[in-house]
Structure 1
Amino acid sequence: MTCDDYFAQHRAPLALAVRQFLAQQLDYDALQDVSWQLLGQWQSLPRDCADKQADSPQESVFWHLLHSLHLWNQNELAQDPALRHQLHDCAACLLGEGPAPLGCIGTRP
């Protein structure tokens, strides 16, 4: 699997998990499981994926969103209106439903 394959395969599942969490259809622990699984799968990719630079604005949003799930605690993710709005916009971007939100810039781990 290439870096591009990884991103293409995992952007929609991440976005959908975030949407489910925001709609209270997925609990925090399950969301964390999804994010850790994604990070674990990234670690198994070839070393040429170690470049920190994302290949596209959408991939940069993917990494920003994934990192945000580990940066903020459960209460902040569930209750902070501005953060929830940002998570929603990031998920929409990953699903091709909107542009990359301003300030949502992430790098590869």
Structure 2
Amino acid sequence: MLEQFIELKTRQLIFYTARYFRGRIPYQELHLFIWDTLEEWAQFGIQLKTPQNHQEQVFWHLLHQLEFWPEQQLKTDQVLQQNIQHCLSYLRGKGNIPLDCVGIRP
């Protein structure tokens, strides 16, 4: 069940993030997706903070980055945007795990 959750939410995270950076959805919609995901995660009641695999690690890292940085920074910081794109590439199966990726479960 947990693996299915991460797999589904990873696909959705890729979709929402890519659409946001293409200017197709507003930041608020991305923000609501993140909080809905965290609400659903809370229902699992998992106490272990260590992700099961690299995909889950990158998933949590990207989710945190998108929620941590203010919208203005997401739109203007090119290094941050490159890091986000690197995470997206990995989650799509088209790249290596980002070296500076520190993803833990909430």
- Coarse TM-score class (shorter-chain normalised): over 0.9
Structure 2 counterpart of 1:21: 20
Aligned pairs (5 A) from 1:1-12 = 2-12=1-11
**Partner Cα separation in structure 1 for residue 88 and residue 25 of structure 2:** 15
Match of residue 104, structure 1, among 90, 101, 105: 101
**CA separation in 2, counterparts of 1:87 and 1:33?**
18
Partners of 1:96 and 1:27 in 2: CA distance: 26
Partner of residue 67, structure 2:
70
Tell me the percent identity: 29
Deviations 1:88-107 (A, max 9, x none): 11112112121211111210
2: CA distance, partners of 1:17 / 1:58 = 17
Partner of 1:56: 53
Residue aligning to 1:80: 77
Unmatched 5+ stretches in structure 2:
none
Aligned-partner Cα distance in 1 for 2:26–2:94: 24
Residue by residue, what CA displacement relative to the aligned partner does 1:36-70 show, whole Å, maximum 9, x if unpaired? 1111110111x3x3210001111101000011112
CA displacement at 1:79 relative to structure 2 = 1.0
Q: Find runs of 4+ consecutive structure 1 residues off by over 6 angstroms.
A: none
CA distance, structure 1, for counterparts of residue 72 and residue 49 of structure 2:
30
1:91 maps to 88
Aligned-pair RMSD on alpha carbons? 1.1
* Structure 1 unaligned regions, length at least 5: none
Provide TM-score, normalisation by structure 1.
0.91
